[in-house]
Amino acid sequence: MKHYVLIRINTNKKSKVILKLNKINVDIRNVRYEDKAIILEVLSEDLKRIKKYLLSEKVEIIGDTGVYEAKRVIKNNMQLIVSVIFGLLVFLVLSNVVVKVNVVHQSSEIRQLLSDALEERGVKPLTFKKSYQEYEDVITDIKNAYKDKIEWLEIDVQGMVINVRVEERIINEDKQEDANCHIVAAKSGVIRSILTEKGVAMVRLNDFVKKDDILINGEIMLNEEVKNNVCAKGEVYAEVWYKVGVSLPLDYVEEEYTKKMRFNFMVKDKNEEYVILKSRVKEKEVKNVLLFKLFNLEFYLQKEYEVRRVNKTYTEEEALNKAKELAYEKMAIKSNKQTDKIHEKYLKKNINNGNLDIDMFIAIEEQIGVKKYYSISESDTDVE
């Protein structure tokens, strides 16, 4: 791109100057004639020649043209431009930041519940605002998570403050309370303790019960006649039995930390994670520390801890203990309850192709009573 500069030639003999410029083959454009000067644009590379040939005239540069003028203006006003851009950025950032989340509800329990739920989903003070769709997703998510507690939820963004309005779900349980029910056995087992609050206990300690046997009766009998019907209430603990099979490989790989740790950076959007620097650690375990969030992007500092993988083998005793742990874990999932172990027995224990296979019999004490509703006219209905 040709660089034209704006010059002023102070002279009374304008025609002579133009003729001279013509003689020395200087390109000129946008010539303006003033009282005792000519203002014109010439190529910057011709400037030396002009000054050389117009010795008796004063030639001064008064500006640039086009892009060069823009560059000069930007350079001269750099501080102002930087301040304005910085100000705009600060304004943009601040106008997108949440400083307060107000949950509007009378009940402090609901307010606390909702505050925690919102915080878990990233709606908390000193974070960036989310889009309308994201707030809608948060609302749907919270509503699904607390179906029994939240009837209606609204997130209203007002400037830097978020107002969350909520309606509590009130479940009318009168009908259920009025309904008649028995406590029946959910599993087979031997009764170990009974605590009856309502109804008549039908079993005694050390009785063996089968699944669906009535443990606490909702029918209050007198002289073989039903005098009253209630919803039986109480807790019945019984010894129940599980048979659990576990197979555990004797060889395993253990990760040991070396003392080497390297930093890295990671940017995460909704679906993807982008590591900025090339990783300098081969075998590693990564821990992420959130630095800041910008719109939908999250910037993390990564700590890459080098690990060494060591092949190890369990001794028989270790393997047995580990297999037992696994069996209990498996059983806890199966029974879905925290239980008290009564006794355990290995049914099978052998090592096959580097694997330890065990079958265990475990007896535990757990609550087996569940409500079973019935109507007086008809027989059994729902089991809760």
Partner 1 sequence: MRIMKNLQNFLLDQDYYIDIFNNCLHVYYYMEMVSLSDKQIELKLKEFTLVIEGENLLVSAMDNHEILVKGIINNVRFVR
Binding site for partner 1 (CB under 8 A): 15-16, 18-19, 21-22, 25, 27-31, 33
Closer Cβ to partner 1, 2 or 341, answer by number: 2
Q: Choose between 16 and 165: whose C-beta lies nearer to partner 1.
A: 16
Query: CA–CA separation, 293 vs 123, rounded Å?
Result: 12
Least CB distance to partner 1 at residue 48 (A): 18
CB 8 within 8 A of CB 60: yes
Joined tokens for residue 52 = 């050389």
The nearer residue to partner 1, 30 or 296, going by C-beta atoms, is: 30
Nearer Cβ to partner 1, position 13 or 280?
13
Question: C-beta of 16: minimal distance to partner 1 in Å?
Answer: 8
Closer CB to partner 1, 27 or 340, in the complex: 27
Residue 180 CA: distances (Å) to CA of 253, 358, 374: 57, 45, 6
Q: Which residues pair with 297 in a beta bridge?
A: 294
CB of 58 to partner 1, least distance (A): 20
Structure tokens at 250: 């004797």
- Closer to partner 1 by CB, 33 or 274: give it: 33
Q: Could you give the CA distance from residue 203 to residue 205 in angstroms, rounded to a whole number?
A: 7
**CB neighbour class for 33 (10 Å; exposed up to 12, middle 13-18, buried from 19):** exposed
Tracing tokens 């080497």 back to the chain, one arrives at 260
- What are the b/e assignments for 347-375, b being 16+ CB within 10 Å? eeeeeeeeebebebebebbbebbbbbbbe
Amino acid at 379: S
User: CB of 63: closest distance to partner 1 in angstroms?
Assistant: 18
The answer to whether the CB of 132 falls within 8 A of the CB of 194 is: no
- Classify burial at 254, counting beta carbons within 10 Å of its beta carbon; exposed 0-12, middle 13-18, buried 19 or more: exposed
CB of 42 to partner 1, least distance (A): 10
Least CB distance to partner 1 at residue 1 (A): 15
By beta-carbon proximity to partner 1, the closer residue of 19 and 145 is 19
Output the smallest distance, CB 65 to partner 1, in A: 13
